[in-house]
Amino acid sequence: MSALSSTVTLIPLTDDVLELVKSIQETGPELVTAVHPDDEMYLFFITHPDHKDFPLRSYFLSGIGMLQEFQEILRKTGTSLENTKTFLEFACGYGRFTRHLVRCLDPGKITVSDVYKDAVDFQEQTFGVNGFYSDVNPEKVIIPGTYEIIFVASLFSHLPVKTWRPWLNKLYNSLTDNGILIFSTHGPSCMEDPGKMPGSGFLYRKMSESRSLSFENYGTTYVTNGFVLQAVKEETGQPVLLEVPKGLWNYQDVYVVRSPGSV
């Protein structure tokens, strides 16, 4: 772990954001407002035409929206967050979602992981969660332990074909008995030209919000429902338990797979 978070200059909070934070805090515990200047989810809003005038506000709102959508998915699968002892947020970034999650679940029960080591360090130091570093190559990563819930927001929507199924397989195999894996994808409706989806049901384009990951490992991925159902069946041996079209940000499709119980 580096001493990074004590030396970086955090994004200053504007008055409109302070008001928003106050209203969020009225509904529960304190919200940690430290935002890392390299947070690519925040930087995405800075350049987005619909959000560039109030990027920090959009950043906090999108995170709290994710938590609400995530809780709805748990409700539909009959999963209790309060009773969860081991939670992995994979491809966590700098904590757009985590900062809201730690208001509902003890940080000691949460593990985060990302290829960005600074992001994992920042999260450990800022939110008190556990962390481990990932790698673009799934074969190089040993996931420590198993988890009752693994949440992967907007990673399978960026992976190339060479790592898409290997990551699905690896994350599924890191579930406890009866654990659930929740991940999101870009469906064909996210494409400007859905007619260009190939028969394989998988389209990878060399474009992304990342300022450092190469197109060899991270771009923009569109998949059909049929592609996901088949990949899940073949990589996990399980059917998809739940699918929620546009279940995240009213944009990405969400899929849930449950590992079988031991009894």
Ligand X SMILES: C[S@@+](CC[C@H](N)C(=O)[O-])C[C@H]1O[C@@H](n2cnc3c(N)ncnc32)[C@H](O)[C@@H]1O
Binding of residue 136 to ligand X (CB under 6 A): yes
Give the Å distances, CA to CA, from 15 to 12, 35, 82, 84: 10, 15, 33, 36
Number of residues binding to ligand X, judged by CB under 6 A: 19
- Widest Cα–Cα separation across the chain: 54
Grouping H, G, I as helix, E, B as strand and the rest as coil, residue 222 is strand
Q: Which residues pair with 223 in a beta bridge?
A: 202
Grouping H, G, I as helix, E, B as strand and the rest as coil, residue 148 is strand
Among 79, 154, 185, 236, binds ligand X (CB under 6 A): 154
- Cβ 41 to ligand X, closest distance in Å? 4
Tokens of 154: 């907007």
Among 20, 24, 92, 150, binds ligand X (CB under 6 A): 92
Binding of residue 114 to ligand X (CB under 6 A): yes
Among 84, 111, 130, 134, binds ligand X (CB under 6 A): 134
- Cβ 49 to ligand X, closest distance in Å? 19
Among 11, 24, 31, 41, binds ligand X (CB under 6 A): 41
Give the Å distances, CA to CA, from 185 to 116, 120, 225: 21, 23, 9
Q: Which stretch binds ligand X (CB under 6 A): 5-13, 153-161, 175-183, 236-244?
A: 153-161
Among 11, 20, 31, 91, binds ligand X (CB under 6 A): 91
CA distance 116 to 215: 16
Residues in contact with ligand X by CB under 6 A are 41, 90-93, 96-97, 113-116, 134, 136, 153-155, 158, 213, 218
